Amino acid sequence: MSILVVTGTDTGVGKTVVTAALAALALERGSTVAVVKPAQTGVAAGEPGDLDDVIRLSGVTTTFEPARFPDPLSPAAAARVAGLPPVSLTSVATLVEELAESNRLVIVEGAGGLLVRFDEEGSTLADLAYELRAPVLVVARAGLGTLNHTALTLEAMAGRGLDPAGVVIGSWPAEPGLAERCNVADLEMLAARPLAGALPEGAGVLDRPAFARAARAGLAPVLGGAFDPAVFRTTLKLPG
């Protein structure tokens, strides 16, 4: 059994698509998989949320969303605005540990970035990962701004004793510009390891078979796929 926490360098970087890709590849290998989203924000009751996308793309059937708040804010702020109690990350940790007893893989998808607050005491996804002793996979943007965001995320993880599972680019453009192509080497330098994957932009709208192919091609073997960072680098056509 294993637990993997998925965080992003920011909101909207592709965490849900990466989570679905991880789940799809694990299911393909015959593993039992559970996915937990501790708090969903910005989605009203009855509307499809991130876990619905994970289910649609991967086929995973064991999913849990302990809390949902309608406003597109941090979980702590969204709970406060809605007048609802915040999600308890202690309870989430208990749920994840229980799921890990009966599933080969439990994936925990965060909200926003690593240090976004879940309650008024300042509990974060970093605290949850530390309590679970789980490695953290960082999902990053491809373009401008990603280096600073990624460096800050990795430094925050190191300062909290969290084990990095790698860096994945959540949405690699079909026609990458100079910034995107140059950023690959810098992301690897920041992570002190080869890139753990790069999923193509638009992967989230693919049907399930096509998404499974994209997941295999876009995630490294350590994550269940066939992505080869050395081969990927040869496609970048850097100047000089």
AA identity, residue 148:
N
**Residue tagged active-site, from 15, 37, 68, 141:** 37
Which residues are paired to 36 by β-bridges? 64, 108
CB 132 within 8 A of CB 3: yes
Look at residue 65 and give its three-state secondary structure: coil
237 annotated active-site: no
Q: Which residues, at least 6 apart from 181, have a Cβ–Cβ distance to it below 8 Å?
A: 236, 237, 238
Look at residue 91 and give its three-state secondary structure: helix
Cα–Cα nearest to 174, from 214, 231, 119: 214
Residues annotated as part of the active site = 37
